[in-house]
Homo-oligomer: A and B are copies of this chain.
């Protein structure tokens, strides 16, 4: 597809200047972006109003409309988050390790930008700015392919950012938006080998799966989270209820929200009513296996429920006879995002953290902490659920690769 190839060429050319840019220049560009977003906020709000009106006309749900909306205060928050990226250390040029070999060769492994990063995402206009800022700080050109529902908002913010970075002397093609939101442009990006060094999909299971199935460029899978909380037989029941309530209801639409409660049968009779009472405060709908259904009044879970990311006030309940059975259940149905055990038993905690096969495994804490900011890494571009390259929150260091630089004085082998 000629249009997408041209974006790839533009990015490759623009990135050459960014690869060579000082930290100070990159930070000036980010500061200019932040200021320009505030300065041009009315343009953004006007463009966003068109997207919101189209969304309403097309019957978009309230929660999706909420994700799409850009108010003055949200623009301020986004502009502030760009300034937070200014404050983060530059990941480029960090020497990861090195040695001098017996033959005198001096070898160092140094962090360098990936090159060009493509991001495919849905109707969340904040991703346009977050992703562009993180890619810029890590020395990468970015090609942004957002959902058609946010296209007016995205065009407005992308143009503001492009002008801002040009004003400090960077090539504006370091940030490019795919303005044609047809399915063809997404597919072409997925196959743009030679131009795209890594593709990061951000969105629901359908988008992620489409990218995994179709992409020939390297991919970092993100964000689908069927997170479990396992209540061990020795759990503190109040702690369990508080953590489950927090993990399920503090923000049900995000990937680190809990979707499934797994509970030891020895504690179920006492704990399930207490947990249900807490979840009833937010009208969380529960379904579960037969054993759970004998203790609390809930509907019967189907096989499909165990693998489901509800992203809603809904939760499945599975009863088990041991921590080993809990681990097997979780490793079977989890998406590899975040899982927690609530226990006061040392051995159960050790087993769970060792054998649960997910990017983040918690003891006695809410899964909602899986987040670059909460982990102290600063901003993130997503949560990786794959094992290659990045696992868990993807921050600035994960947006770089490494290069070996070897200095000699005539060595041959």
Contact = CB atoms under 8 A, between A and B. Distances in A.
Contact of A359 (B20, B239, B357, B403): B403
A406 B198 contact: no
Interface in A337-388: 349, 353-355, 357-366, 368-370, 374-376, 386-388
B360 A406 contact: yes
Interface stretch (A31-39, A145-153, A212-220, A281-289): A212-220
Contacts of A220: 388
B412 A359 contact: no
Given A366-B412, A406-B362, A212 B239 contact: no
A77 to B, nearest CB: 18
Contacts of A109: 392
A250 B403 contact: no
A413 B250 contact: yes
Contacts of A242: 410, 412
A78 to B, nearest CB: 21
A201 to B, nearest CB: 13
Interface in A303-362: 349, 353-355, 357-362
Contacts of A365: 105, 406-412
Contacts of A363: 405-408
A228 interface: no
B401 A364 contact: no
Of all A-B residue pairs in the complex, the 5 with the closest CB atoms, nearest first, are: A365-B408, A246-B412, A387-B401, A389-B389, A218-B388
